[in-house]
Amino acid sequence: MQAVKAIAATDVFFVVGKGEVKHELVELREEARARKGWIMDTYLLRRLPPTGR
């Protein structure tokens, strides 16, 4: 997992990865919610390239 804290804002995290980041993302969200009382999620999803079937 790559978690990067944004330079221009506090308490902003970018998590980059595929399915393997699920458990780390859940943990990070729980920690953030415990600290701040709420969180806002934004996701950028990409389609996989065609497999050439």
Domain containing residue 15 = 2-36
Distance CA(37)–CA(35), nearest Å, equals 6
16, part of any domain: yes
In a domain, 15, yes or no: yes
Let me know if residue 46 belongs to a domain.
no
19 falls in which pLDDT band (50, 70, 90)? Answer: confident
* Residue 41 located in a structural domain: no
Separation of alpha carbons 10 and 24, rounded Å: 20
24 pLDDT tier (thresholds 50, 70, 90): confident
Per DSSP, 53 falls in state -
Instruction: State if pTM tops 0.85.
Output: no
11 assigned to some structural domain: yes
Q: What is the pLDDT of residue 9?
A: 63
Across the range 5-27, mean pLDDT stands at 75
Bridge partners, residue 15, by sequence? 3
Name, in order, each residue with C-beta under 8 angstroms of 16's C-beta and a sequence gap of 6 or more.
1, 2, 4
Q: Is residue 28 part of a domain?
A: yes
Count structural domains, the chain: 1
The pLDDT, as a whole number, for residue 6 is: 45
For position 47, what pLDDT does the model report?
A: 84
CA distance 7 to 12: 9
